[in-house]
Amino acid sequence: MLKLGLIGKGISRSQSARLHVLLGRMCGMDVTYDYLDSDQIADFDLIRQLTICAETGYAGVNVTHPYKTSARKLITPRKRLPEALGAVNTVVFREDGWRGDNTDFVGFMRGYRQQFGDAKPGTVLQLGAGGVGLATAFGLRGLGADKILIHDKEAARGEELVATMRAASANAVFIGQDDLADAVRSADGLINCTPIGMNQYPGCPFDTNLFGGQKWAFDAVYTPVETAFLRSAAKSGIEVMTGFELFFFQGIEAFEVFSGAEIDADAARTEYFNAYPEALTG
pTM for the whole structure: 0.95
What's the CA gap between 230 and 236, in Å, rounded?
Answer: 10
Considering the chain, tell me which residue range(s) the CATH 3.40.50.720 domain(s) occupy: 106-241
Are 201 and 195 contacting, i.e. CB atoms less than 8 angstroms apart? yes
Answer yes or no: 272 catalytic: no
Q: What is the pLDDT along the chain (282 residues), one digit of tens a residue?
A: 999 999 999 998 899 999 999 999 999 999 999 999 999 999 999 999 999 999 999 999 999 999 999 999 999 999 999 999 999 999 999 999 999 999 999 999 999 999 999 999 999 999 999 999 999 999 999 999 999 999 999 999 999 999 999 999 999 999 999 999 999 999 999 999 999 999 889 999 999 999 999 999 999 999 899 999 999 999 999 999 999 999 999 999 999 999 999 999 999 999 999 999 988 776
CA neighbor of 211 nearest in space, from 232, 192, 225, 226: 232
Where are the domain boundaries for CATH 3.40.50.10860 in the chain? 2-101+246-280
Among 33, 58, 67, 222, the active-site one is: 67
CATH of 2-101+246-280, one of 3.40.50.10860, 3.30.1360.120, 3.40.50.10440, 3.40.50.880: 3.40.50.10860
Bridge partners of 37, per DSSP, are 8
- Element (DSSP H or E) covering residue 178: none
Domain 106-241 in CATH: superfamily? NAD(P)-binding Rossmann-like Domain (3.40.50.720)
CA distances from 66 to 38, 46, 48, 89, 212 (A): 10, 10, 16, 10, 36
Residue 234, CA atoms < 13 Å, CB-side half-sphere: 11
